[in-house]
Structure 1
Amino acid sequence: MSIRYILGAQDGAPIAQVLSSLRSQPAWRPFDERAVAFVRRFSQKLLTSAGIRQHPELAALGHWFRGANLQTLAGQYELETPQLLKLGRGLAFHLAPSNVDSVFMYSWLLSLLAGNVNLVRVSQKASAPLDFLVGALAQTLAEDVGAPVRERIVLLTYPHDEQLTRGISEACLIRVVWGGDATVRALRAIPLRPTAIEICFPDRFSACAIRASAVLEADDAALAQLATAFYNDAFWFAQQACSSPRLVAWVGDDATIDAAAVRFWAALDTELARRQPENSEAMNMARVAASFEYAAARLARPAEPGEFRGAHPMRLRMETPLDETAKTLHCGNGLFLETRLPRLAALAPQLSDKEQTLAVHGFPREELVELALALPPRAVDRFAKFGEALSFAPVWDGQDLITTFSRNVLLPTG
């Protein structure tokens, strides 16, 4: 077994020994002061680390887990009553995705806060953000505040090994899977303990909806802010995050949409020139290849006439309603599908349980509720403002993670 331990165990340690040690640790109550102190200190360490400005997604992680937010989060849960005691479930096995380096930290830290012991497997791919995270974690674990947590976390990596994954799965009481649909299906074939639970975060497709008239009504400063917000949603993680918008749904009449689109995309071009996101040749080729596939399937065509092969962003106008094929063909990397609707609720028939986040701009709450009530089952887990599509919340993919990561122990009364 070619396991490389990153944190929490010495290389060469037998996995059975590591698992036995983790399983021997008692469950804590949610928001145990030791867990809260560690997470708060890790947040401080991350936010004050040299080089954090080069990793805005990690700065967002650190900001989310700051002490004030932890206090607010704890206040949202009733942790104990005369009849009920909440505890962590035990050993949680997290399988991190390879395309979004920091996402596993949210589930791990929330699992720790819920009272659990955690083993995390990360990708073997080299990653500057992951190295940055590991450095901050190691420094925090080395401090006094890290002492109670050192025996409750193992971070490791290993190549594909079904036998090893099976062994860890048999030991855990929670399995958390971040990955594509194929990964989820493969892991679901590996059994868990009868008392264990599984939380899966599979492939998702996210979109945004814009009221065209709101773009035309915005002054230049407001439009620049909108472009910045859209950039943060779409270009962090190279549009690979589950909540990154890939479809832009314009709502309004054609003339209004035409004028709004010109204004909006011009503002985004200005933002791209200012921010200079990654746009490698491989990313460009992925966009071009996807555009050919959309054209061959008669699903979409270039949104603007003329040469577009080197365009970044690349815009394709849908020629048919959005379907599962159109979602599957999407490659991220700055490719945007565009569709037009007379009203927001008309988007509902094009959505499915594949959709996670719909970022919205210019719509009153009643129109969002109208759309939500028209949605197919399980379609769209969250509506977000522009600029907040990637903002994490303890309710993710429709699941309250603190509640799911913990269990209720009933106590006698009287």
Structure 2
Amino acid sequence: MSERRLSVDLPLAYHAGAAIEGMERRPLPPYAPETLAFLADLSRLLLADSACRTFPDIAAFGYWCRPANLDRLAQAFAGPRQRIGRGLALHIAPANVPVNFAFTLAFGMLAGNANIVRVPEQPKEQTLILCAALRQLFATPAHARIAAMNRVVGYPRDDAITAALSACCNARVLWGGDRTIAHLRQLPMPARCVEIAFADRYSLCMLDAASVAASDAAVLDRLAEDFYNDAYLLDQNACSSPHLVIWLGDEASAAQAQERFWPALAGVVRRKYPLGAVQAVDKLSDLCRIALELPAAVGSTRHGNDIYRIRLAALAPAVEKQRGRHGLFLEYVSPTPDCLETIVDEKYQTLSCFGVDRENLAQMIVDRGLLGIDRIVPVGRALDIGPVWDGYDIVATLSRIVATQ
């Protein structure tokens, strides 16, 4: 096999896997039995570990790797054509979502590739826990092939190292902000190397006011818990966490729904969210900044330090530049979903909904040719990452077709 040599001399910190020079780079078919067996064992290892269960994001990843879920994904992906991984995939994982590196590694594995995943130089605790689990499984003879194909590494932000790795790869997966992506894209890669870039995105939530107002206590509590998970688990840092809440209905019905929903959410936040002094100051600073920068902001409501709400009189383009942190939300009342047409561009990723027909929303996006919104999910599912993300079928993109005629 003709392939560029990976240099063992690169100053890499190995979090999982041996030196890159000895990597097995021959690809497997997508959803290969070896891959599914490895991820199934990883799921069992994580879900049985009490330390892992203390981190909801690790538990969610372990749950996602369950055999039942992967079998469902494999069946959905299956087709009449032969496919195989592209070879070596280089992944640059983001710093703001610690478990993301494990998902991008899993996607690369499921596509059949050998993978080098770069994690931040100072990894979070979740990253260290997951890498320890990977090392444990890599050391077992049953997973020798998967161990030979995969590495998790760390190194400082160094273009020379990233360029050296890029020169050897058949696919490159970039996660980060717009500036980071633009910078990394300047680093050359082989002519046939494919690239997927996951840059800054903006997400929102749409709540049907009448449905919220009519909900019984159990449904309302569940809705508040689900919204909390979407927004607060990652401090609204995830690209799929909501920053804007659109209430469908008239002003009177929206006010009635708001009087129920926000206090219910505040109760969940008080129980679960440890708001520090620095976070509280940041949130207040953001509130003041948005009030100055956004002409449509006509008022605000605070539920202690748990929730800040900024009321909008209109939706204007570029509202996505105003992002909340630690529980700061913009909100707007609209009689119909048509208001989306005013603001949605390619920046918009996830629309989470309650009491709204998601299929009708998807049809509206297609019929009106909107450039954004790639996912429409129930409230509580905003953070559920999968192999179809940002409008890409990642496993399909990271594998190739072997055609016969």
Same fold by TM-score greater than 0.5: yes
Residue number in structure 1 paired with 2:3: none
Between the aligned partners of 2:388 and 2:15, the Cα distance in structure 1 is 29
Residues 272/362 of structure 1: CA separation in 2 closer, same or farther (3 Å cut): same
Between the aligned partners of 1:219 and 1:310, the Cα distance in structure 2 is 25
The one-letter amino acid paired with 1:54 is T
Residue number in structure 1 paired with 2:5: none
8 Å CA contact 1:352–1:376 kept in 2: the answer is no
2:34 match: secondary structure:
helix
Residue number in structure 2 paired with 1:317: 311
Residue 265 (structure 2) pairs with residue 265 (structure 1):
no
Residue number in structure 1 paired with 2:72: 72
2:331 match: secondary structure:
strand
Residue number in structure 2 paired with 1:384: 377
Residue number in structure 2 paired with 1:8: 17
Deviation track 1:286-328 (CA, whole Å, cap 9, x = no partner) reads 2122212212214425422xxx59622211112442432x322
Residues 150/334 of structure 1: CA separation in 2 closer, same or farther (3 Å cut): same
Shift in Å, 1:125: 2.6
8 Å CA contact 1:351–1:376 kept in 2: the answer is no
Residues 185/310 of structure 1: CA separation in 2 closer, same or farther (3 Å cut): farther
Deviation track 1:326-365 (CA, whole Å, cap 9, x = no partner) reads 3224142211111111111222211111110000111134
Residues 104/376 of structure 1: CA separation in 2 closer, same or farther (3 Å cut): farther
Between the aligned partners of 2:218 and 2:236, the Cα distance in structure 1 is 25
The one-letter amino acid paired with 2:248 is V
Residue number in structure 2 paired with 1:348: 341
Residue number in structure 1 paired with 2:112: 115
The one-letter amino acid paired with 2:377 is A
Residue 124 (structure 2) pairs with residue 124 (structure 1):
no
Residues 366/78 of structure 1: CA separation in 2 closer, same or farther (3 Å cut): closer
8 Å CA contact 1:85–1:408 kept in 2: the answer is yes
8 Å CA contact 1:210–1:250 kept in 2: the answer is yes
Map 1:10-25 onto structure 2 (within 5 A): 18=20, 20-22=21-23, 25=25
Residues 321/57 of structure 1: CA separation in 2 closer, same or farther (3 Å cut): same
Segments of structure 1 that go 5 or more residues without pairing to the other structure are 11-17
1:88 counterpart (69, 85, 88): 85
Between the aligned partners of 1:289 and 1:309, the Cα distance in structure 2 is 16
8 Å CA contact 1:359–1:386 kept in 2: the answer is yes
Residues 319/298 of structure 1: CA separation in 2 closer, same or farther (3 Å cut): farther
2:387 counterpart (359, 374, 394): 394
Shift in Å, 1:2: 4.3
Residues 204/58 of structure 1: CA separation in 2 closer, same or farther (3 Å cut): same
Shift in Å, 1:403: 0.8
8 Å CA contact 2:230–2:381 kept in 1: the answer is yes
8 Å CA contact 1:301–1:319 kept in 2: the answer is yes
The one-letter amino acid paired with 1:321 is L
Residue number in structure 2 paired with 1:179: 176
The one-letter amino acid paired with 2:48 is T
Residue 280 (structure 2) pairs with residue 284 (structure 1):
yes
The one-letter amino acid paired with 2:380 is G
Query: RMSD over aligned Cα, in angstroms?
Result: 1.9
Shift in Å, 1:53: 2.7
Residues 173/290 of structure 1: CA separation in 2 closer, same or farther (3 Å cut): same
Between the aligned partners of 1:78 and 1:374, the Cα distance in structure 2 is 29
Between the aligned partners of 2:74 and 2:350, the Cα distance in structure 1 is 25
Residue number in structure 2 paired with 1:148: 145
2:233 match: secondary structure:
helix
8 Å CA contact 1:303–1:338 kept in 2: the answer is no
TM-score (norm 2): 0.93
TM-score (norm 1): 0.91
8 Å CA contact 1:94–1:176 kept in 2: the answer is yes
Residue number in structure 2 paired with 1:34: 34
Between the aligned partners of 2:266 and 2:305, the Cα distance in structure 1 is 11
2:77 match: secondary structure:
coil
8 Å CA contact 2:358–2:376 kept in 1: the answer is no
2:246 counterpart (249, 273, 295): 249
The one-letter amino acid paired with 2:206 is A
8 Å CA contact 1:286–1:331 kept in 2: the answer is no
The one-letter amino acid paired with 1:74 is A
In the alignment of these two chains, the number of paired residues is: 395
Q: After TM superposition, what 4+ stretches of structure 1 lie above 4 angstroms from structure 2?
A: none
Residue 306 (structure 2) pairs with residue 297 (structure 1):
no
Segments of structure 2 that go 5 or more residues without pairing to the other structure are 1-9
8 Å CA contact 1:238–1:334 kept in 2: the answer is yes
The one-letter amino acid paired with 2:277 is E
8 Å CA contact 1:348–1:371 kept in 2: the answer is no
Residue number in structure 2 paired with 1:14: none
Residues 318/376 of structure 1: CA separation in 2 closer, same or farther (3 Å cut): farther
Between the aligned partners of 1:228 and 1:317, the Cα distance in structure 2 is 22
8 Å CA contact 2:13–2:154 kept in 1: the answer is yes
Between the aligned partners of 1:43 and 1:37, the Cα distance in structure 2 is 10
8 Å CA contact 2:350–2:376 kept in 1: the answer is yes
